[in-house]
Homo-oligomer: A and B are copies of this chain.
Amino acid sequence: MPTPRRTQRILAAVLLLLCSLAALSVSAEAKVHHHTWDIAYHYKSLDCVEKLAVTINGESPGPTIHATQGDTIVVTVHNKLETENTGIHWHGIRQIGSPWADGTVGVTQCPILPGDTFTYRFVVDRPGTYFYHAHYGMQRVAGLDGMLVVSAPDGVAEPFTYDEERTILLMDWWHKSVYEQAVGLASDPLKFVGEPQSLLINGRGVFEPFHCSRAPQRQQRRCLQRPRSAGCAPPPLFTAVPGKTYRLRVGSLTSLSALNFAIEGHSMTPLHLLRRVLLGPGQGRPEPVPELLGRLPRRGRERNTTSAMAILSYAGNDPRAPPPTPRPEGPAWDDVTARVEQSRSLAVAHPDHVLPVPPRPDRALLLLNTQNRIGGHTKWAINGVSLAFPATPYLVSMKRGLQGAYDARPPPETYDFRSYDIERPPPANGTVASAVYRLALGSVVDLVLQNTVALNKKSETHPWHLHGHDFWVLAYGDGKFDPERDTARFNLRDPVMKNTVALHPKGWTAVRFVADNPGVWLFHCHIEAHVYMGMAVVFEEGVDKVGRLPKSIMGCGRSRTLP
Within 8 A of B (CB), among A369-415: 389-391
Kindly state whether residue A321 has any CB partner on chain B within 8 Å.
Answer: no
Is A110 touching B111 in the complex (CB atoms < 8 A)?
Answer: no
Binary interface profile of A, 523-563, with partner B (CB < 8 Å = 1, else 0)?
A: 00000000000000000000000000001101111001101
Binary interface profile of A, 75-101, with partner B (CB < 8 Å = 1, else 0)?
A: 000000011111000000000000000
Kindly state whether residue A114 has any CB partner on chain B within 8 Å.
Answer: yes
The answer, among B85, B187, B552, B556, for a CB contact under 8 Å with A83, is B85
- Cβ of A84: which chain B residues have Cβ within 8 Å of it? 83-85
> Given that A82-B137, A111-B83, A114-B85 are known contacts, is A556 also in contact with B557, CB under 8 Å in the complex?
no
Is B52 touching A556 in the complex (CB atoms < 8 A)?
Answer: no
User: Considering the chains assembled together, what is the distance between the CA atoms of A111 and B82 in angstroms?
Assistant: 11
Kindly state whether residue A177 has any CB partner on chain B within 8 Å.
Answer: yes
Kindly state whether residue A420 has any CB partner on chain B within 8 Å.
Answer: no
What is the copy number of this chain in the assembly? Answer: 2
User: Considering the chains assembled together, what is the distance between the CA atoms of A390 and B110 in angstroms?
Assistant: 19
Is B183 touching A52 in the complex (CB atoms < 8 A)?
Answer: yes
Kindly state whether residue A115 has any CB partner on chain B within 8 Å.
Answer: yes
Is A139 touching B83 in the complex (CB atoms < 8 A)?
Answer: yes
Is B560 touching A115 in the complex (CB atoms < 8 A)?
Answer: no
Is A557 touching B116 in the complex (CB atoms < 8 A)?
Answer: yes
Is A111 touching B111 in the complex (CB atoms < 8 A)?
Answer: no
Q: Which residue of B lies closest to A563 (CB)?
A: B563
Is A43 touching B85 in the complex (CB atoms < 8 A)?
Answer: no
State the Cβ distance, A30 to closest chain B Cβ, in Å.
Answer: 30
Kindly state whether residue A192 has any CB partner on chain B within 8 Å.
Answer: no
Kindly state whether residue A42 has any CB partner on chain B within 8 Å.
Answer: yes
Within 8 A of B (CB), among A104-131: 106, 110-111, 113-117
Binary interface profile of A, 154-189, with partner B (CB < 8 Å = 1, else 0)?
A: 000000000000000000000001011011100100
State the Cβ distance, A402 to closest chain B Cβ, in Å.
Answer: 14
* Most chain B CB neighbours (cut-off 10 Å) among A111, A139, A390: A111
State the Cβ distance, A189 to closest chain B Cβ, in Å.
Answer: 11
Is A561 touching B551 in the complex (CB atoms < 8 A)?
Answer: yes
- Cβ of A86: which chain B residues have Cβ within 8 Å of it? 83
User: Considering the chains assembled together, what is the distance between the CA atoms of A390 and B116 in angstroms?
Assistant: 9
User: Considering the chains assembled together, what is the distance between the CA atoms of A351 and B187 in angstroms?
Assistant: 55
Is B183 touching A41 in the complex (CB atoms < 8 A)?
Answer: yes
State the Cβ distance, A559 to closest chain B Cβ, in Å.
Answer: 8
Within 8 A of B (CB), among A123-151: 136-139
User: Considering the chains assembled together, what is the distance between the CA atoms of A84 and B557 in angstroms?
Assistant: 15
User: Considering the chains assembled together, what is the distance between the CA atoms of A551 and B558 in angstroms?
Assistant: 10
Is B556 touching A113 in the complex (CB atoms < 8 A)?
Answer: yes
The answer, among B82, B114, B556, for a CB contact under 8 Å with A116, is B556
- Cβ of A43: which chain B residues have Cβ within 8 Å of it? 183-184, 187, 191
User: Considering the chains assembled together, what is the distance between the CA atoms of A113 and B560 in angstroms?
Assistant: 11
Is B180 touching A52 in the complex (CB atoms < 8 A)?
Answer: yes
Q: Which residue of B lies closest to A115 (CB)?
A: B391
The answer, among B82, B115, B184, B391, for a CB contact under 8 Å with A113, is B391
23 of the cross-chain contacts (CB-CB < 8 Å) are: A41-B179, A41-B183, A42-B183, A43-B187, A52-B180, A52-B183, A82-B182, A83-B86, A83-B111, A84-B84, A111-B113, A111-B114, A113-B113, A113-B391, A114-B137, A116-B556, A117-B391, A177-B177, A179-B179, A551-B561, A554-B555, A555-B555, A555-B556
Known: A83-B85, A83-B136, A113-B555. 12 other contacts (CB 8 A): A41-B179, A41-B183, A52-B183, A82-B138, A83-B111, A84-B84, A84-B85, A110-B113, A113-B556, A113-B557, A115-B389, A555-B555
